[in-house]
Amino acid sequence: MPEGTLELNGPSRDVLARVDGDRDVAAIVQELLQEYEGAQEAEVRTDVLALLQDLKQRGVVRERT
């Protein structure tokens, strides 16, 4: 992130730690569901996609084509 810092904690940090270019969103969601017992898949997917979209807009991550 140019000229700034990005502070992540909790689930956001857990999502970003899994963004490695090999895992897709579905794999990240499945791993988080195992880590956060009782979480709802649809809610986790929505949250992951929202976080990734925000990080993409900030230039932290980019979509692989």
Residue 28 has phi, psi (to 5 degrees) of -60, -45
- Higher pLDDT pick, 44 / 7: 44
pLDDT in tens, 26-52: 999 999 999 999 999 999 999 999 999
For the chain, report the end-to-end CA distance as a whole number of angstroms: 21
**Both structure tokens of 49:** 């996609």
Cβ(33)–Cβ(44) below 8 Å: yes
> If we measure between CA atoms, which residue out of 52, 9, 60 comes closest to residue 27?
52
